[in-house]
Amino acid sequence: MRVSVQSDDFDITNEINNLRINRTDLGAIATFTGLVRDIHDNKNIKKMTLEHFPIMALKELNKIGVMAKDRWPIEELTIIHRYGELFPGDQIVLVITTSLHREAAFKAAEFIMDMLKTDAPFWKKEELEDGSRWVMSNKDDNDKKDRWK
Amino acid sequence: MNILYFASIREHIGVSSETIPHQAGIDNVNELLIYLSSKGNNYKIAFSQVDLVRVAINNEYVGLEHKVYPTDEIAFFPPMTGG
Q: Which residue of B has its CA nearest to A132?
A: B8
Angle, alpha carbons A89-B16-B78 (nearest 5°) = 60
Let me know if residue A147 belongs to a domain. Answer: no
Cβ distance A56 to B79 less than 8 Å, yes or no, reads no
**Domains of chain B, each with CATH number or no CATH:** 2-77 (3.10.20.30)
pLDDT at A7: 98
The chain B residue lying nearest A116, using CA atoms, is: B83
Q: How many CB atoms lie within 10 A of CB A15?
A: 18
Contacts of B83 in chain A (CB under 8 A): 34, 81, 92-93, 113, 116-117, 120, 122
Reported ipTM: the value is 0.95
Question: What is the domain count for chain A?
Answer: 1
Chain B from 9 to 38: CB within 8 A of any A CB: 10
For residue range A6-54, list pLDDT tens digits in order.
Answer: 999 999 999 999 999 999 999 999 999 999 999 998 999 999 999 999 9
Looking at residue B24, its pLDDT comes to 82
Q: Stretch B58-72: mean pLDDT, rounded?
A: 97
Q: The domain spanning residue A19 has which CATH number?
A: 3.90.1170.40
Distance from CA of A72 to the nearest CA of B (A): 21
- For residue range A62-71, list pLDDT tens digits in order: 999 999 999 9
Q: Show the beta-strand stretches assigned E in chain A.
A: 2-6, 28-35, 39-40, 43-52, 74-82, 84-86, 91-99, 122-128, 131-134
Domain hosting A42: range is: 2-140
- CA-based nearest distance A76→chain B, Å: 20
Q: For residue B71, how many C-alpha atoms fall within 13 Å in the half-sphere facing its CB?
A: 0
The predicted-structure confidence for A78-129, as pLDDT tens digits, reads as follows: 999 999 999 999 999 999 999 999 999 999 999 999 999 999 999 999 999 9
For residue A114, the model assigns a pLDDT of 96
